Structure 1
Amino acid sequence: MTVSCVKLSSDAFMVCLTHALSTENEEVMGLCIGEVDENRVSHISAVMLLRRSDKRKDRVEISPEQLSNAAIHAEILTAELKRPMRVLGWYHSHPHITVWPSHVDVRTQAMYQLMDECFVGLIFSTFNEDKKSKQQRIQVTCFQSTNHSPEGEPPMYERIEVPLQVAPSSHISRESMQSLVTLPGILTEEESEAYTSTFASKDLDLVTRLHNSAVFTKSICHMMEVLTGPLMQSLENRCEHDKRLAAQLLTRKQELERQLEELS
């Protein structure tokens, strides 16, 4: 294992989890951005949500173009934050199934580690019911891959679990806020692309076309109901909380200034 530990900032964790909970029918994916310190601890502080070109229930694919765009985004963050930011890993969701990576996930992870030995994979298991308590549970794991095959033999990759810590943060970073804002747009683009693809067939009758339009409208409305609305409400609540906190801090500042004047 080339990474001793992964520290995921709480605001980046919130973005990943929100993305993972945005759909329970197919897997979603994204890339993690951050830095690795001298102790081989990976600090993930930003994520880049990726649009799916092909929706699948059990597989996600990250194109070379998406990796290149993420690397460019990391360079921009490096200039803005004055820190050596780079793409450190990928994440995807496992709706209704276990958190453990499949053999395809382990093989994909091994491929990424050929480019960067510190690359890690995160998996978010969502919409998975505990058999005993009958309650929904959310699990997350971090892993790397290792080849246990003898030299000269075909590779046999196995999962290595990497310790994962969610590092607390007092605020939502600008990078995480931008990612949250882009999420509804990404999902809308995916639905629009799927709907537009139905126009390729010229043999569709009127009833089928009306059905496709109704399904598209229903998908957009459902997204507004379960994602966009609650997300806006959550951000508004966070804004009100920050305003109250700012007012309390201002009051405390005035009290300290008054006490300082009395002492002087």
Structure 2
Amino acid sequence: PQVDTSRIVHIHSVIILRRSDKRKDRVEISPEQLSAASTEAEMLAEMTGRPMRVVGWYHSHPHITVWPSHVDVRTQAMYQMMDQGFVGLIFSCFIEDKNTKTGRILYTCFQSIQAQKSSECKAMKCFPWPVCPSVDVYERIEIPIHVVPHETIGKVCLESAVELPKILCQEEQDAYRRIHSLTHLDSVTKIHNGSVFTKNLCSQMSAISGPLLQWLEDRLEQNKQRVQELQQEKEKLLEELAALE
């Protein structure tokens, strides 16, 4: 992201992260990847000639609401202790409208603020007197976010899109190797695991790699047509310039 003095953050690129936990309603990443993002930001700054740094984190909420959970809000508060401008992005996916049967993707940008501390007196079983702990409570505040359309695709964004199938494949390979290394598995179980691994890779090719390749080919064809149009326009302008001379 590019930093603006008017408290506006221009996000130019995101880093595709590998998932450490994949469940139906939860996707987690390892903290090491967040620290590695700082190194990536330095490389982008040299490549683009703009001041770049990490200004936020993102994750998805598959099949559930886009609003951050109390864990998300506390995690965001932790990041804001290091950088007050840090923001969180959440994408809610795999949500289908019951009437139209079409999928939707929702997103939100948020920060955390500390609410008034609550002191609740609770009688604990191990003590005959009430205990009043002071609990830090954080609340979500929504940050306006605007997606600005562009006619062109930056090199960094293009590389991130191409990197996605590689990362998904690596996740499947790591999971397969981790299970395959278990010594107590019999031959039938190993064959079954190999079949599941192959099935998952084929599903990724069908859902991700195939559409991505088709999109890149379509984009290439559009670029070729655009180059041809610009070349014709150039020749026309040169003819008009020659006529004036």
* Same topology, TM > 0.5: yes
Give the distance between the partners of 2:101 and 2:210, measured in 1 at CA: 27
Which aligned segments of 4 or more residues in structure 1 are displaced greater than 4 angstroms?
Answer: none
Residue in structure 1 matched with residue 231 of structure 2 by the alignment = 250
Alpha-carbon contact 2:66-2:92 (below 8 Å) kept:
yes
* Cα-to-partner distance string for 1:6-64 (whole Å, 9 max, x where unaligned): xxxxxxxxxxxxxxxxxxxxxxxxxxxx1221110110001101112332333344434
Letter of the 2:10 counterpart: H
Map of 1:47 onto structure 2: 14
User: May I ask how many residue pairs the two structures share in their alignment?
Assistant: 231
SS in structure 2 of the partner of residue 143 of structure 1: strand
Q: TM-score, normalised by structure 1?
A: 0.82
**Long gaps (5+) in structure 1:** 1-33
Q: Indicate how the Cα distance of structure 1 residues 124 and 136 shifts in structure 2: closer, same or farther if over 3 A, else same.
A: same
1:179-258 to 2 correspondence within 5 Å?
179-258=160-239
Q: Does 1:149 align with 2:116?
A: yes
Which amino acid in the other structure matches residue 242 of structure 1?
N
Q: Is 1:35 paired with 2:16?
A: no
Match of 1:118 in 2: 85
Structure with the greater alpha carbon radius of gyration: 2
Distance 2:27 2:191 in 1: 30
Q: 1:139 to 1:36 in 2, by over 3 A?
A: same
Residue 199 of structure 1 and its aligned partner are, at CA, apart by: 2.5
Give, in whole Å, the separation in 2 of the partners of 1:257 and 1:213: 63
TM-score in terms of structure 2 length: 0.89
Output the CA distance in 2 between the equivalents of 1:229 and 1:170. 23
Classify the secondary structure of the residue corresponding to 1:235. Answer: helix
Say which of 108, 112, 126 aligns to 2:75: 108
CA distance in 2, matches of 1:60, 1:39: 33
Counterpart contact for 2:94–2:103, Cα < 8 Å: yes
- What value does the CA root-mean-square deviation take over the aligned residues? 1.7
Q: Which runs of 5+ in 2 are unaligned?
A: 120-133
